[in-house]
Amino acid sequence: MFNIQNIHSLTEFKRNANSYIDTIRSTKAPIVLTVNGEAAVVVQDAIAYQSLVDRFQAREVEIREMKLEVLRKEIQVAIDQIKAGEYTEYTEETLTEFCDEIMREGRRDIGLLA
């Protein structure tokens, strides 16, 4: 959450914009501007904002790479199981029943079924 001292009205900001911008640049701390008493926008130093965006994008890349690695490992497990003959063949009818059971279990797990 924001520091209560960094919340100001848009009207006040407009009257003293240069002063606020100087403070934001020197402290690198964002301020929240309100309209009719409600938080409306955040004003932040451009370099601090870009740093935040860069860190966020780097985390997104890391998460994507982690997900791909997990997927690769899961696929390899499946390949190994198939090579070892550890699989079940389904007919159209048994596959439908299998899918129905998975949906029932999923609904039960999220509390839709008792």
Do 66 and 59 meet the contact criterion of CB atoms below 8 Å apart? no
pLDDT tens digits, one per residue of 47-57: 999 999 999 99
pTM of the model: 0.61
31 three-state secondary structure: strand
CATH class of 4-44: alpha beta
Q: 54 is written with which tokens?
A: 């860069």
Tell me if 6 sits within 8 A of 31, measured CB to CB: yes
The answer to whether residue 1 scores a pLDDT higher than 70 is: no
Where are the domains positioned within the chain?
A: 4-44, 46-89
Q: Is the dihedral of CA 25, 31, 35, 36 positive or negative?
A: negative
pLDDT higher than threshold 80 for residue 4: no
Is the pLDDT reported for residue 112 higher than 80? no
Q: Percent of the chain scored above 70 by pLDDT?
A: 94
Task: Considering only the C-alpha atoms of the chain, give the largest distance between any 2 of them, rounded to a whole number of Å.
Answer: 75
